[in-house]
């Protein structure tokens, strides 16, 4: 428990020296050296704390990775990145796609042409067979 009090005391002393410097006071070289030691100590404590947090975070990530196996890349579906372009494509498709009557007329023409070609092909086959 004494160690925590010493750290708190050192932190309070650092704040005191900081406030004097911010107010514009010039520190005696001996006091300035003490201030520099306290700053170094405080930066080291902060560094150790951040390093401890980093290692805890890395350990937690490794534990989570060990618990869940990585997904099979072959089973993953490719992700769509062009959602905005999809809307433009759909709008363009809607503008050029024929209405129901036009579509029915085209399908009727195709059907008539197919029937005509089939009739001609059958007639040619009968002519070839009779020769």
Q: What is the pLDDT of residues 31-72, one digit of tens each?
A: 999 999 999 999 999 899 999 999 999 999 888 888 887 777
- Assign 1 a pLDDT band (cuts: 50, 70, 90): very low
Q: Does the pLDDT at position 4 exceed 60?
A: no
In the block, tokens 């060990």 appear at 66
**In Å, what is the CA distance from 44 to each residue of 25, 27, 115?**
26, 23, 90
Average pLDDT of span 83-95:
80
- Assign 78 a pLDDT band (cuts: 50, 70, 90): low
What is the average pLDDT score of the chain? 86
- For 57-100, the DSSP string reads HHHHHHHHHHHSPPPPTTTSPPPP--HHHHHHHHHHHHHHS--H
- Assign 125 a pLDDT band (cuts: 50, 70, 90): very high
Q: What is the pTM of this model?
A: 0.44
**In Å, what is the CA distance from 10 to each residue of 7, 70, 109, 124?**
5, 48, 94, 108
108-112-117 Cα angle (round to 5): 150
């Amino acid at each position: 428990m004494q160690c925590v009090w010493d750290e708190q005391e050192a932190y309070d002393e650092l704040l005191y020296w900081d406030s004097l410097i911010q107010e514009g006071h010039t520190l005696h070289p001996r006091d300035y050296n003490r201030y520099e030691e306290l700053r170094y100590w405080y930066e080291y404590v902060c560094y150790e704390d951040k390093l401890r947090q980093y290692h805890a975070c890395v350990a937690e990530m490794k534990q989570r990775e060990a618990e869940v196996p990585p997904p099979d890349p072959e089973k993953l579906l490719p992700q769509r990145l062009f959602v905005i372009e999809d809307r433009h494509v759909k709008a363009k498709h809607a503008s050029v796609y024929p209405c129901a009557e036009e579509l029915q007329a085209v399908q009727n023409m195709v059907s008539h042409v197919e029937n005509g070609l089939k009739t001609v092909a059958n007639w040619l086959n009968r002519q070839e067979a009779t020769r």
